[in-house]
Structures are given as structure tokens and as C-alpha cells.
Chain A
Amino acid sequence: MSPRIADVWVYLSASPLLGLTMTLVAYQAGYWIYRRAGFNPLLNPVLLAIIMLVTALTLTGTSYATYFDGAQFVHFLLGPATVALAVPLYLQFDKLKKLALPLAVALLAGSLTAIVSAVGIAWLLGAGEGTLLSLAPKSVTTPIAMGIAEKLGGIPSLTAVLVMLTGVSGSVMAKYILDGLRIADHGVRGFAVGIAAHGIGTARAFHVSEQAGAFAGLGMGLNGLVTAILAPLLLLLWRTF
């Protein structure tokens, strides 16, 4: 680098503008690729943006803390976004009331399965406690999952990565699992995907049908609430016995 460019770099890397701009540019580049690939779930825009940003930060020797100084403005919106989930839930309320019992039982079964099997499998395979606690809320949409991980004593940023892996793997597998089980109803299919694979699964369900997407959004929102209550309770039980 010439001295001049080095000066500019030093100035920019100390300002939040760079981290914020990089985040928006990388996400939009990722989204462009995702769209061009016909919304292939393997080319998830979030995953692509993360790969681009980690590569750029590593190559320039920029620390995550420096990057986050700027990116925190985007990160902050996770709070209001969580609150905003009340709106689609309210709009789906009529459907919710009609199917209240099946939805509630399926939600509880799915939520318990997601938490217990994730932590159980990782524990059997020898994962450490930080990883186990970060895995517990992996099926929940990121803003809620990170809050749960923090409360449990896990690592919120690790949880964000695990949530991403969950969403992508769920979106890829869902069709084959549900076809194999001969489940045809789009409401049921969507709800299951929303419970297990949160927002990324919901986005995928919307590509299949409006009904699947609406039920997936419902499953995502409700599982966020249920896991926020169940995960700390399960941890308490685990620690007691």
C-alpha cells in the first residue's frame, strides 16, 4: 500500500462506517447470487455474506471487534425485529385459533425434539459445555436464539452460526423428509419446517406455497416463544438431577 492509501485505510478502519457498509454490500451481493441461482437453498445469502466478510476481515487483518463497531447498527435491529414478529402472528390468529390443539401439541413435541436431540447428540459425541448450551436454541430464529443462548450461559455468536447451519440444512432436507413421511398438507409441512428451521425454512416454504409459508412463519414465531421458556427449564432440570 502506498502511504496515502494506508492513511485512508487507518482512518476508515477506525470508523463504524466501514463495518456497516461492508455488511450491507456483502448481504446484497449474497442475495444477488442467491436470486440468480433460482433461490437454491445451498446458496443462502446470509451464508454467502458471512463467507465474504470473514474472508475480507481475515485478509485485511481486521478484528471482529472493529468490524462489529459498525455492524452493531444492523445487529441492534434484531430486538425490534423480534417484537415485529407479533404482527404476522396477529394476522394469522384466526387460523391459529381453529387449529389450536394440533398446533400446540405439534409445537411442544417439535420444540422438545429440537432441543433435546441437538444437545443429546452433541453431548454423546463429546462436545464441550459452551457448545452444548449454544446448541440448545438452534432451531429458533436468530434474535430469539441469541437471547436464549445468552441467558443459558452459551455463546450468542456461536449460536448465530449454529442457527444458520440449522436453517440451511432444514431447508435442504425438509422436502425429502416430508415426502418420505407422505405428508401432503401444506399447512402441516410449513408448520414443521418453521418449528425446526425458523426464518430460513420459512423463506423456503414461501417458495413452495403461500399456505406453507404462512404456517412456517407461525411455527417459527411460536417455537421462539416456547424454546425461550423450555430451554431454561430443561437446563434447570438437567442441573438439578
Chain B
Amino acid sequence: MLGALTVLLVFQLAGEVIVQFAGWPIPGPVIGLLLLFLGLCLRGSLAEPLRDTANGILQHLSLLFVPAGVGVMVHFSRVAGEWLPILAAVVVSTALAIAVSALVMQVMVRRGDGEDA
């Protein structure tokens, strides 16, 4: 578990360093994710402690949202003042994104099946 946690932190650190040097507008941990993914593909296997630690952290992923979410108290007046654009944007855009993703994938999968047949 300690080793696996170290692996995650080392990849995060590598991601942060690369982003800082390259000046990319991408969060460091995202590059860390990519690097770890590539590393796993190259290695061709996943060590059990890493799998367990990753699953353990991801199981409680929603807990990690809480401290930042409490930050709403700092933005109370903004959210209250712009509640209509915020609510409309979130609800309509989320519904659209679900519909578009599903429809496009459905069409693409059917086309692929058609070619195979």
C-alpha cells in the first residue's frame, strides 16, 4: 500500500514537472494518469497492491470532493446572483451531453456491426 501510494505520487510529481516545464494548459495529475497508463501498458501487467490501493482511493472518490465543495460558502453570492444561468446551463447541457453521446455511440456501433455482417 505504501509502495503503491508512492507510485501514484511519483507519477503525479512527474506529471506536474512536465506540465511546468512544457507550459501546457493541462493539470499535472492528468499527465500523471497518462504516464501511469502508458507504464501499465508497457509493463503488460498490474501489481496487486497498486490495483488495491487505486480501487481503495477511487471507492472514496466522492469524499475527496467535499472540502472543495464546501467552498460554495465563499461563492454563495455569485451562485445566488446567477442561479438562473447556472442552473439552466448545468441541467440542459448535461441532458444534451447524455443524449448526444448515447446517440452517436449507438449509430457508430450499429454501423460497425453492419460492416462485420
Contacts and interface: CB of A to CB of B under 8 A. Distances in A.
Interface of A: 23-24, 26-27, 44-47, 49-50, 53-54, 57-58, 64, 67-68, 71-72, 74-75, 77-91, 93, 99, 101-103, 105-107, 109-111, 113-114, 117-119, 121-128, 130-131, 135, 138-139, 141-144, 146-148, 150-152, 155-158, 160-166, 169-170, 173-174, 177-178, 181, 183, 185, 188-189, 191-193, 195-197, 199-200, 203, 219, 221, 224-225, 228-229, 232
B86 A162 contact: yes
Nearest to A106: B105
Nearest to A219: B101
Interface string B45-82: 01000110111011001111111111111110011001
A88 B41 CA distance: 12
Contacts of A24: 63
Contacts of A79: 9, 12, 28-29, 32
Given A118-B89, A161-B79, A89 B37 contact: yes
A83 B11 contact: yes
A168 B99 CA distance: 16
29 contacts: A24-B63, A27-B63, A78-B68, A87-B50, A99-B109, A105-B108, A106-B102, A110-B98, A113-B97, A117-B92, A117-B93, A117-B96, A118-B89, A118-B93, A124-B85, A127-B86, A127-B89, A138-B90, A146-B68, A147-B28, A156-B68, A181-B103, A191-B101, A192-B102, A193-B98, A195-B101, A197-B94, A224-B33, A228-B30
B79 to A, nearest CB: 7
